[in-house]
Amino acid sequence: MKFSARWITATALAAASFAATAADPIKIGVSGPFTGGSSSMGVSMRDGVRLAAQEINKNGGVLGRQILLVERDDEAKNERGVQIAQELINREKVVATVGFINTGVALAAQRFYQDAKIPVMNNVATGSVITQQFKDAPDNYVFRNAAHDSIQAPMIVEEAITRRGFKKVAILADSTNYGQLGRADLEKALELKGVKPVAVEKFNIKDVDMTAQLLKAKEAGAEAILTYGIGPELAQIANGMTKLGWKVPMVGSWTLSMANYIDNAGPGGEGARMPQTFIQEPTTPKRQSFIINYLKTFNPKNARIDSPVSAAQGYDSVYLLAAAIKQAGSTEGPKVKAALEDLKAPVEGVVTTYSKPFSKGDHEAITANIPVFGEVKGQRVVYAYPDDFKKASEVRVKDPNAKGALTATKK
């Protein structure tokens, strides 16, 4: 008995001294759907994250320690996301987590990080409420470097109503949190323009027939379709239009750039437009080296990143976190969070150069002036407007006063 007690003490001491050595890695959790309908976003995000971590580790890591990624597949399921959050926090003891593609998963899982005082960087999920979930708490641990829906919805409406002059539009959104929150934002943005959608329709994940939804939009005289959904079902909408022999432009959230939309819709999917924070074009030296390294490391089909936006945002999210950990000189959650809210040195990313991306009351790194419009053309996403392409080398930086975002309200 005495022996075993001493043995335990010895082991505990050894473990403690081991933990104190500077060499053990900084664990960062990565949670996203690497399989299923949103996997083209999840995998691209993960690859972007891996690329950034590799580069940082090659250059000596952060605080002299290497970054170790703990990747988990949340399968776009809320309950899986919750399990993973608990595992990453309690068992893996991560310093921070990046990821979340699906708004529903983010909302379900991030409360555990909030309670554990561990920062979360949402690098893809766009639901407006994500960063507002704990707005009233004394400390909010939820950050985001993706274009949220209160930016995207007005951009979509601006494009459809103002720039292209459509007067009658129909909204087609899926029945998930993502689709329905997005639909609400679209309706709000349309209302600000004094436009009422002629039809608002819903569809389920895995629906194979969109005839009813499209006929309703057609009968109501819609001149354009505004979408909020993910790749496979968006492709079914495009295919459904081909079938009905009724072709109107599709303008929708950034998911219209997903590879599984472009591939499954084929020629019928051409011309769809969506807001993008990043388009796979080497318009700055940073973007060029990112694209070259990404293609070299992961070798995607046809030299096309499945979801360039997710890859770029995933990559940037790690650099933002690394900068914060470096500035904090510590991996403790509250200190990292404080550093994120007050980043001293600008961080050069792929999407933009982040100078003071976050503050105490503002956890959104992307503002309405940053995204541009992309268009599906020749089976890839290109700049919809040549002017944007010409000016792409001027990096658009965060402008907290940028107009065009809906005022976010907590629901």
Positions touching other proteins (CB under 8 A) are 35-37, 39-40, 175, 201-204, 206, 208-209, 211-213, 215-216, 219, 231-232, 235-236, 242-245, 260, 263-264, 266, 268
Q: How far is the CB of 54 from other proteins (least distance, A)?
A: 24
Q: How far is the CB of 217 from other proteins (least distance, A)?
A: 10
Q: How far is the CB of 191 from other proteins (least distance, A)?
A: 21
Q: How far is the CB of 73 from other proteins (least distance, A)?
A: 10
CB 384 within 8 A of CB 273: yes
Residue closer to other proteins by CB (options 217, 347) is: 217
Q: How far is the CB of 129 from other proteins (least distance, A)?
A: 21
Q: How far is the CB of 227 from other proteins (least distance, A)?
A: 14
Residue closer to other proteins by CB (options 122, 260) is: 260
Residue closer to other proteins by CB (options 99, 275) is: 99
As a whole number of angstroms, the distance between CA 103 and CA 177 comes to: 7
Residue closer to other proteins by CB (options 47, 316) is: 47
CB 302 within 8 A of CB 313: no
* CA end-to-end distance (rounded Å), the chain: 58
Residue closer to other proteins by CB (options 138, 245) is: 245
Identify the bridge partners of residue 359 per DSSP, sorted by sequence position: 362
As a whole number of angstroms, the distance between CA 287 and CA 124 comes to: 18
CB 366 within 8 A of CB 277: yes
Residue closer to other proteins by CB (options 149, 207) is: 207
Residue closer to other proteins by CB (options 76, 408) is: 76
Q: How far is the CB of 251 from other proteins (least distance, A)?
A: 20
As a whole number of angstroms, the distance between CA 326 and CA 339 comes to: 9
Residue 138's Cβ-count burial label (10 Å; 0-12, 13-18, 19+) is exposed
Residue closer to other proteins by CB (options 19, 208) is: 208
- Tell me the C-alpha to C-alpha distance, in Å, between residue 381 and each of 248, 258, 273, 367: 19, 9, 9, 21
Positive or negative: CA dihedral 248, 252, 254, 256: negative
Q: What is the CA radius of gyration of the chain?
A: 22
As a whole number of angstroms, the distance between CA 288 and CA 284 comes to: 6
User: How many other β-carbons are positioned within 10 Å of the β-carbon of residue 401?
Assistant: 7
Residue closer to other proteins by CB (options 65, 183) is: 183
Which stretches within 175-258 are classed as H helix?
177-192, 211-219, 231-244
Q: How far is the CB of 224 from other proteins (least distance, A)?
A: 18
Q: How far is the CB of 109 from other proteins (least distance, A)?
A: 20
- Which residues fall within 8 angstroms of residue 408, CB to CB, at 6 or more apart? 128, 129, 132, 148, 150
As a whole number of angstroms, the distance between CA 84 and CA 56 comes to: 25
CB 214 within 8 A of CB 237: yes
Residue closer to other proteins by CB (options 253, 307) is: 307
Q: How far is the CB of 107 from other proteins (least distance, A)?
A: 21
